[in-house]
């Protein structure tokens, strides 16, 4: 590696440089992965709200509070009035809900901290996924068992594509606790359909944007049957998620 002429100091410098490069490359390759940096984010909320108590023990469905999830891209954090539906009477004097009461009286919203964050150049639609009967737990983990909401999945693009390529293996089908509307099928039938009949593209297959356009993978499938009444929010047909860039980055 070194000639006899190289003195010890230069040798050491070069070796130290290689060591530093190795260190930086290993840390930046493994250490800054979404799986490492994002998973486990558990901010403290203004109110010690427990999903474990509300959704787990009291069996209040996810959609009781997060109502817009099947109609909007955004799954809204409930308004203070939603809390007060019950808390006008239940534990009304508890110091833990003093902030809710204050918000209710002054009209100033509570500042909940956002846990699951996607980059701003991603157009993720909650409604599209919920109406495909993908359960909340697919991306958020089993929130009804969490005292404090924690990010359980990396929410990286590779992780999104895992499901889009192979939903059978990765999707959690709609569960009763979520309150997702599964049409005329029961939750069990829906789960069976997603696990058995859902299409699969096979893992690790890379296709170009052009191929995507030809295959039409970016085109959404039709509705299941026809809504017998105009405006009825019906679930949609099981389909592969699109894999073309323009599906999410537009």
Would you tell me how many other CB atoms lie within 10 Å of the CB of residue 111?
9
The reply on whether position 38 binds another protein by CB under 8 A is yes
Sign of CA dihedral 207, 247, 29, 31: negative
CA 220 to chain centre: 20
Rule CB under 8 A: choose which of 6, 10, 15, 125 binds another protein: 15
Q: Strand, coil or helix: what is 74? A: coil
For position 156 contacting another protein by CB under 8 A, the verdict is no
23 touches another protein (CB under 8 A) = yes
Is 169 a residue that touches another protein (CB under 8 A)? no
* Cα–Cα distance measured from residue 41 to residue 35, given in angstroms and rounded to the nearest whole number: 11
Structure tokens at 34: 């979404």
Residue 181 binds to another protein (criterion: CB under 8 A): yes
Q: Binding to another protein by residue 239, rule CB under 8 A?
A: no
Q: Quick one: which of 50, 52, 60, 193 contacts another protein (CB under 8 A)?
A: 60
Q: Counting contacts by CB under 8 A, is residue 46 touching another protein? A: no
- Nearest one of 50, 5, 4 to 147, comparing CA atoms: 50
In sequence order, which ranges of 98-186 are alpha helices (DSSP H)?
A: 98-106, 126-131, 137-140, 157-165, 167-170
Could you give the CA distance from residue 24 to residue 1 in angstroms, rounded to a whole number?
23
Min CB(107)–another protein separation in Å: 8
Q: Which residues bind another protein (CB under 8 A)?
A: 1-2, 15, 18-19, 22-23, 26-28, 30-32, 34-44, 57-61, 63-64, 67, 74, 76-77, 79, 81-82, 84-86, 88-91, 108-109, 111, 117, 119-121, 150, 176, 179, 181-184, 186, 225, 227-229, 231-234
């Amino acid at each position: 590696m070194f000639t006899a002429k190289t003195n010890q100091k230069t040798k050491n410098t070069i070796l130290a440089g290689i060591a530093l490069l190795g260190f930086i490359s290993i840390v930046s390759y493994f250490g800054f992965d979404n799986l490492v940096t994002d998973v486990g984010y558990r901010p403290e909320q203004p109110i010690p709200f427990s999903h474990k108590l509300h959704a787990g023990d009291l069996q209040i469905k996810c959609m009781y509070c997060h109502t817009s999830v099947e109609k909007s891209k955004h799954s809204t954090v409930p308004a203070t009035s939603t809390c007060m539906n019950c808390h006008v009477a239940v534990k009304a004097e508890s110091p833990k809900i003093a902030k809710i009461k204050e918000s209710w009286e002054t009209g100033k919203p509570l500042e909940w901290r956002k846990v699951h964050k996607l980059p701003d150049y991603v157009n993720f639609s909650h409604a599209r996924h919920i109406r495909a009967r993908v359960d909340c737990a697919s991306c958020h983990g089993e929130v009804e068992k969490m005292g404090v909401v924690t990010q359980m999945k990396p929410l990286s693009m590779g992780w999104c594509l895992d499901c889009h390529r192979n939903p059978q293996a990765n999707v959690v089908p709609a569960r009763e606790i979520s309150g997702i509307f599964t049409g005329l099928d029961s939750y069990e039938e829906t789960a069976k359909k997603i696990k058995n009949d859902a299409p699969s593209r096979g893992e690790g297959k890379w296709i170009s944007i052009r191929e995507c356009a030809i295959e039409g993978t970016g085109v959404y499938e039709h509705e299941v049957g026809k809504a017998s009444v105009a405006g009825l929010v019906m679930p949609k047909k099981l389909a592969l998620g699109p894999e073309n860039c323009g599906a999410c980055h537009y």
